Amino acid sequence: MQAVILVGGEGTRLRPLTSTVPKPVVPLVDRPFIAYMLQWLAEHGVDDVIMSCGFLATSVRNVLGDGSAYGLRLRFVEEPDPRGTAGALKYAESMLDERFLMLNGDVLTDIDLTAQIAQHERTGAKATLALVPVEDPSAYGLVHLDGENAVLDFLEKPSPDQIDTNLISAGAYVLDREVLDLVPPDRKVSIEREVWPLLVGNGLYGFPSDSYWLDIGTPDRYLKATFDIIEGNVATEVRERLGNDYLAVASEAELLGRAIPPAVLERGVRVAAGAHAGSLVVLGQGVSIAENATVERAVVLDGTEIGEGAMLRDCIVAAGCRIGPRTQISDGVVLGEGVTIGADNTIAGGARIFPGVTIPDGAIKF
């Protein structure tokens, strides 16, 4: 089975994490984000994946290689300019089989693709959309189905009185090649707005699923995805690594303080005496936490140093940062790569500090 993954965006909502690293290979727990999708696809019999790239495509290719590490063949297509969801697919047309999967590369999910493909074949569909329920569908487009799961219509961003279903598109489609005939070449085309309406009543089906699904396009959702992975709320290989105590500490880590599960501590991590890591923490390779510092509900990436008595909570810290003694970072803050925060600062309120910035001792208190 073949799949096309759309990863052409610049990841602007995730900046500053994506200021220096392409979104598909931003670390998520212990591997590039897109690796979860590749492993999920391989589990469902996909052996050929085409990555439709735009921004920093070479960097994505350098990290992922030829796909052999994931048990599949991985190829790359670079759009000459932004083509939209259907336009990107059309640009890759010469590489596509008679039937293939199309996926939004921003999603973490464990939807049963095997069952979705089986329904597609059983109904004789031209396109089958995976659908998932969400608690608040008002920010999405609703999908109405008939009793045979054929799509009746779409309702974009409904008002409260219009909400009569909570099913939205999950960004995972099974497509027959003939769908490409509906896509004009060499221009930007939306599959959601310009192609699906043409297929309503003519081979467009939905596949409702109660599986885990999350769009990881923002820092708060990135943190939620991290926590869900290490808590085992979504089926991934990381769950096996955490074991029954939900704690993964690399053998080369030095743990003199406390690690509170669920938590992942990678090779070279040092947690000093009196320091606390966890719960809900991922510490990348070479992270050091000094005496009496606390890190909880946070992701701290490779090589970052956290000073004595510092406190990090509900935040994301990119690689190579320096955080001074007694500094407090919380409430959705994101630090870009190589940021230095001096001692005795307080940073909160979802602040985003871009790569390479230096903040002196005691400069910020909010």
Secondary structure of the chain: what % helix, strand, coil (to 5)? 25, 35, 45
Residues 60, 183 within the same domain: yes
User: Which of 117-121, 215-219, 236-240 shows the highest mean pLDDT?
Assistant: 117-121
Q: Any idea what DSSP says for residue 192?
A: I
Hey, what amino acid is at 1?
Answer: M
Contact 309, 294 (CB under 8 A): no
Assess if residue 53 is contained within a domain. yes
Residues 51, 197 within the same domain: yes
Q: What percent of the chain has pLDDT over 70?
A: 97
Confidence band of 46 (pLDDT split at 50, 70, 90): very high
Rounded CA-CA distance 76/90 in Å is 14
* pLDDT value, residue 57: 67
Instruction: Average the pLDDT over each of 1-10, 105-114, 237-246, 335-344 and give the range with the smallest value.
Output: 1-10
Assess if residue 366 is contained within a domain. no
Residues 170, 247 within the same domain: no
Radius of gyration of the chain, Cα coordinates, nearest whole angstrom = 22
Rounded CA-CA distance 307/322 in Å is 8
Residues 207, 230 within the same domain: no
Q: Where is pLDDT greater, at 332 or 365?
A: 332
Given 159, 188, 211, which residue is the final one in a domain? 211
* pLDDT value, residue 56: 58
* pLDDT value, residue 55: 59
* Mean pLDDT of the region 13-20: 86
* Nearest CA among 66, 63, 8, 72 for reference residue 38: 72
**Around 288, how many Cα atoms within 13 Å sit in the side-chain half-sphere?**
11
Q: What is the DSSP string of 56-81?
A: THHHHHHHHTTSGGGTSEEEEEE-SS
Average pLDDT score, the chain: 92
Residues 77, 162 within the same domain: yes
Assess if residue 365 is contained within a domain. no
Instruction: Average the pLDDT over each of 133-137, 157-161, 354-358 and give the range with the smallest value.
Output: 157-161
* pLDDT value, residue 186: 85
* Mean pLDDT of the region 232-236: 91
Residues 130, 235 within the same domain: no
Q: Range of 47's domain?
A: 2-211
Q: Where is pLDDT greater, at 142 or 248?
A: 248
Q: Where is pLDDT greater, at 341 or 79?
A: 341
Total number of domains constituting the chain:
2
The model carries a pTM of 0.91
Given 163, 193, 211, which residue is the final one in a domain? 211
Q: Any idea what DSSP says for residue 168?
A: E
Token match 């979860």: residue? 36
Contact 59, 78 (CB under 8 A): no
* pLDDT value, residue 124: 96
* pLDDT value, residue 17: 87
* pLDDT value, residue 79: 82
pLDDT for 276 beyond 90: yes
* pLDDT value, residue 361: 95
CA angle 186, 205, 211 (to 5 degrees): 100
Q: pLDDT digits over 146-202, tens only?
A: 989 999 988 876 677 777 778 888 999 999 999 999 999 989 999 999 999 999 999
pLDDT for 4 beyond 90: yes
Residues 306, 157 within the same domain: no
* Residue 16 preceded by cis peptide, ω within 30: yes
Residues 44, 71 within the same domain: yes
Rounded CA-CA distance 151/305 in Å is 52
Residues 227, 188 within the same domain: no
